[in-house]
A and B are shown apart, each in its own frame.
Chain A
Amino acid sequence: MREVAIVSSAIHQVEALTFTTDVQLMVPLINEARDAVGLTQADIGFTCSGSSDFLAGQGFSFVQTLDAVGAFPPIAESHVEMDGAFALYEAWVKLQIGEIDTALVYSYGKSSPGSRRDVLAVQLDPYALAPLWPDAHAVAALQARLLLESGAVTAEDLAAIAVRSQRNAVGNPNALRVSADVTVDDVLAGGVVADPLRAADLAAEADGGCAVVLAAGDRARELCERPAWIRGIDHRIDAHGLGVRDLTRAPSAALAAGKAAERAGFAANDVDVAELHAASTAQAHVLATEMGLGGTGGSVRIDPSGGSLAADTLMAAGLVRIAEAARRVSGGEAHRALAHASSGPCLQQNLVCLLEGE
């Protein structure tokens, strides 16, 4: 496997980007990520992005956003209708071929103009599920109740995850739900949004975007003092139907973690930090269990940025997790890091990226 590293990143997340188009959002982010390593678009071997037409309310929405890259002269480029973490995977694959040495990955999502929880119902089985419009909060709640009633966690455990996220988010300029002194009791006193989930159990919806530059081998070492090497990356999907799988589990997360670990040569839980892409505290618990990250008292520091619970940009949250994890490695705060991205209802699809410093 060819050595590939994350050498720079840029993140911007806010509650609502009211007067800013996707292009205007991404221009500064893409430039920030390229400038940080002294690259122009002409130096980039492959560009890949992720976004959603249904989120944008516009077909071919990514075509306009290409304007943010500066795609002339023409560029080698592709787009996935998925979270940017999967765009990063595609770029990593292209780098494996050996044809190019650098790649730019970006993704963005602006859910504030619509009702994100209802838009996501359009992901579900279009015959027997979507016509009932089960919204994303309700679907997450069905999963959370199964988890609670299985005895695996208590409401206090979930509240502790919310507290961890809000406290870790202190100092993260991109986090929306931040508190240095929130307590489990505070969370439990909050109103129920989708029984049994409280507001603090559900990821804070954010508009925003993320750009990441990848480089291979010595090129990465030239560009960056301490590249965050992608030692292993893998993604897997589970069955779609909510009734055909055990919603208290996420087998595809465990499988992806295992496959990534095989490539990396170290276990997925042999890391210093982990950034998780969860839509709820219950999902954060399921993921930690599947990947053996231990509970709140474990040795792996989970969601040092606050994770997606503190700021969740649909289509970018997974790429943001990878960027945040890479920053811990490049900054010297962590030697090894795990980043996770997810797609679909109840953690149907999962990607795991294992990073390591030199």
Chain B
Amino acid sequence: MTGGSVDPAPLRADLVIEYPFTRTTGPVVGAFMTGLRDGRIVGSRRADGRVFVPPAEVDPETGDAITDIVEVASTGVVETWTWVDPPRPGSPWAQPHGLALIRLDGADTPMLHGVLVDSAADMATGLRVEAVWRDERVGHITDLVGFAPETADGAAGEAAAAEEPVSGEPVRSIRTPIRLEYDFIPSAAAQEYLHAYAEKRILGNRSPIDGAVFVPPRGVDPRHGVEATEMVDLAHTGHVGNFCVTHLPIPGRSDLPTPYVSAWIHLDGADIGFLGLVSGCDLDEVRIGMRVRAVWKPDDELGATAENVRYWEPTGEPDVPVDRAGNRAWQGEDGDHA
């Protein structure tokens, strides 16, 4: 299922999906977050008196909105639990901890949160627990550090929290960062392609159906849905099939002064274009059909990366006619509307 040989030291990199999402809450979720900030837990009450905690915006049974917000206790009982060891990477807990569905006194549905005990042996269904609050609260589910076995004096923490003055404005948005890490390993075809760059070679895949050459090689001819494993060395010259003059900086590419030209480079011997920068001439001179050649990094800076080609510069040769440039080169005409 893979094309070509695999280098004994394959390329790999961390792919991180990370964003500090800002969520606007609307009134019901907002009431819950506002309550947490103020050291209180609220739920929503349906017409029949059933209290949902966290507050449901909608009655799951009817689809009707629920808007009646009621406070419940900060004490409750564990209905089911598990033990999390090691703690999960994105979670608010740095130590092994219980995770439980806890039905608070006054609530009809349990809420999920952590239970702060030393070991799984300290966990039990039916365990009475009380909220443990963070000192500095912002209106977030993590304003609750978690729940701990109820102490003799009951919900002391809750009482203390509730005595604090309520700080005015309701919570309207929350921050919920997400960070996920992936071990990114390019495909065998991509590995070969990237390694070839270190030797100043540009590889493509040849279609077994009609010989069309695709660059970068992806191991497939997308027109026919067949594997394309034959690798071919491509020339370092070609033409600009098409281009864009970009006046915006690209996130993470502060090295690119704007405006710059990104172009579909159609290498001699390839039948589709791939993206590259065009430089070495005035921006105004870049045109569809312009002949270009690769400008490589110095040999001592070469690595297994397509960035070895710093940019493409004009060769000064006569242009490829516009109606034969780019993907049109395959058919030799500018599309066919017949």
A residues with CB within 8 A of B:
17-21, 23-25, 27-28, 30-31, 41, 54, 57, 66-72, 112-115, 117-119, 121-122, 125-135, 138, 141-143, 145-146, 149, 194-197, 239-245, 247
CB atoms of B99 and A138 under 8 A apart: yes
Is B262 an interface residue when CB atoms closer than 8 A count as contact? Answer: no
Contact pick for A194, options B83, B100, B101, B220, CB 8 Å = B83
Does B327 interact with chain A (Cβ within 8 Å)?
no
**C-alpha gap A186/B189 in the complex (Å):** 43
CB <8 Å contact, A71 and B222: yes
Closest B residue by C-beta to A195: B83
Chain A residues in 8 Å Cβ range of B225: 27, 30-31, 41, 67-71
CB distance from B183 to the nearest CB of A (A): 5
- The secondary-structure label for the interface of chain B is mixed
Closest 9 CB pairs of A and B: A70-B225, A67-B222, A141-B82, A239-B60, A133-B91, A243-B109, A133-B90, A128-B54, A57-B182
| Interface contact A20-B1, CB-CB below 8 Å | yes
Please report the C-alpha to C-alpha distance between residue A196 and residue B83 in the assembled complex, in whole angstroms: 9
Which B residues lie within 8 Å of A149 (CB)?
Answer: 80, 125
CB distance from B149 to the nearest CB of A (A): 17
Q: Known: A132-B92, A142-B101. Is A127-B6 also a contact (CB below 8 A)?
A: no
Q: CB-CB < 8 A to A146: which residues of B?
A: 79-80
- Chain B residues near A114: list those with CB within 8 A: 180-183
Per the bound structure, the CA–CA distance linking A133 and B87 in Å amounts to 9
Report Cα–Cα, A288/B147, bound state, in Å.
35
Interface size of B in residues (CB-CB distance below 8 Å): 70
- The yes or no answer to B283 lying at the interface (CB within 8 A) is no
| Cβ 8 A contact of B183, one of A25, A31, A113 | A113
Q: Answer yes or no: B114 CB below 8 A from chain A CBs.
A: yes
Q: Contact check, A241 vs B60: say whether CB atoms are below 8 A apart.
A: yes
Q: Given the interface contacts A57-B184, A72-B222, A118-B180, does A132 sit within 8 Å of B112 by beta carbon? A: yes
Set of chain A residues within 8 Å of B103, measured between Cβ atoms:
243
Point out the residues of chain A lying under 8 angstroms from B25, CB to CB. Answer: 127
Are B99 and A23 closer than 8 Å at their CB atoms? no
Q: Mark contacts of B183-206 with chain A using CB atoms, 8 A cut-off: 1 yes-contact digit, 0 otherwise.
A: 111111111000000000000000
A298 to chain B, nearest CB (A): 27
